[in-house]
Structure 1
Amino acid sequence: MAELTSTETGAVSGGLRTLLRLEGLTLFAGMTLLYAVWGGSWWIYAILFLVPDLSFAAYLAGPRLGAIVYNAAHSYMAPMTLNIAGFALASPLVLSIAMIWLAHIGFDRALGYGLKYSAGFGFTHLGRIGSAAKAT
């Protein structure tokens, strides 16, 4: 496979990358604090926190499908939809799931795990990770 540059993968760098990672940290801290104030069960938090990472399994079918499924589980769209639905339906369970899911996404982004490109798991919008980062 040809070497991809950050321009070809759209990866952000420098101060903007730092800002995006700090946004992730803020989202993680905010959702975790909100969950605590909400009085949510920490057992449920611990169990559900890593559920979005089950999307890794889609990489067994190849990098294109893996990226699609991973990105679906790690974008803000689904948990924010749940959040809105939870408020509209006054559903504590739905709100709890949304907060935990958003906290997970924030945690991943703070660590530099961004949305994936089909070039492979290591190619993210926040830059390369894992073996892809070591190759540069």
Structure 2
Amino acid sequence: MTTVHPLMDTPKPPADGEGPAPMVPDAAGTPGVVTGRPLTWLRIEGLAVAGAALVVFATAGQPWWLIPALFLVPDLSWFAYLAGPRVGAWTYNLTHTAPLPLALLAAGAGWHIGALTVAGAIGLFHLGLDRLLKYGVKYDHSFGITHLGVHGDH
């Protein structure tokens, strides 16, 4: 007997002698999840982005305590999930992909506004560490499934 996970295209065979397979997919069996060497490269890219963000932050001349103080601000986007998974994923992805922090950096540099530069640098630092830790872009149907892996409850 095999079971089919609703997010998977192919059935998962049952575990040896344990009856039906669990209904939780692994990253390798979840459509849209990057695995293997591309995943390694994306994680290295995340480390590079985090490092570059720290270099940019250092040029802003701001106190270093701002990084731990503001590091989790992008995660406040989780509250958008109260409006449903589609709105939650859109809002979370807005704050966890490069366009917003890069726009903040550009605005900060162009208008000489240190707060925008700091916000952009910390946003990119957060993004880079998220990618390094395999937290990726969210899908509309589940908070726990990202393009870099399956996390927590879904």
State whether residues 9 and 123 of structure 1, in contact with CA within 8 Å, keep that contact through their aligned partners in structure 2. Answer: no
Structure 2 SS opposite 1:56: helix
Does residue 19 of structure 1 match 2:41?
A: yes
Does residue 86 of structure 1 match 2:89?
A: no
Greater Rg over alpha carbons, structure: 2
Using CA pairs under 8 Å that are at least 6 residues apart, name the structure with larger relative contact order, 1 or 2. 1
CA RMSD of aligned residues (A): 2.0
Query: When the two structures are superposed, what TM-score results if normalisation uses the length of structure 2?
Result: 0.77
Instruction: Provide runs of 4+ in structure 1 moved above 6 Å.
Output: none
What's the counterpart of residue 48 of structure 1? 70
Which of 73, 76, 83 is the aligned partner of 2:98? 76
Kindly provide the amino acid, as one letter, of the partner of residue 129 in structure 1. H
Unaligned runs of 5+ in 2: 9-27
What's the counterpart of residue 4 of structure 1? 7
Does residue 96 of structure 1 match 2:118?
A: yes
Identity rate of aligned residues, in percent?
Answer: 43
Structure with the larger helix share: 1
Which of 72, 79, 82 is the aligned partner of 1:60? 82
- Taking the aligned partners of 2:118 and 2:84, their CA distance within structure 1 comes to 32
What's the counterpart of residue 107 of structure 1? 129
